[in-house]
Amino acid sequence: MEIVLHWISEHGFDLLGSFGLIASLAFTTLSFRKDESSRRIGNLLELTAAHREIWSQLFVRPELARILESDVDLVMSPVTNEEALFMTLLLLHLNATWQALDEGVFRTRQAVARDIRWFFSLPIPKSVWEKSKAFQDPAFAQFVEECRR
């Protein structure tokens, strides 16, 4: 017992300092994880707000209604400038969503792939995508093409 007390008297301060260091590292790790979670949620909320803002245009701009129609004849009525602009904004948003997926901001990759497959099967989105995919980031274009299959 005397040996233990002697060791504690000589090394107790070092032991206490080591314990304090380990505790502070554990606290810092927990803090970083909480901050990361908060950032992910904040990013998701921003992406959702941008998504809502873009898609709400279909309700306030009737000239965009054809974008979601599956029986559009693009020979008789080609894609309008307004439709092409909307699609360009949507592609920019989709690219940001893809980057967020790639960074692990959210984990709904399969749901996004289903949405892309459905949306780009429609005549106007398909037409605009075919004309603009060469100007997209190659990895993003590959992602969209894989989703379309």
* Residue listed under structure tokens 């398909």: 126
85-106 tens-digit pLDDT: 999 999 999 998 888 887 776 6
Domain segments of the chain as ranges:
2-148
What is the pLDDT confidence band of residue 30, given thresholds at 50, 70 and 90?
low
Whole-prediction pTM value?
0.71
- DSSP for 99-141? HHHHTTS---HHHHHHHHHHHTTSHHHHHHHHHHGGGS-HHHH
Better-scored residue on pLDDT, 147 or 42: 147
- Taking 70 as the threshold, does the pLDDT of residue 15 lie above it? no
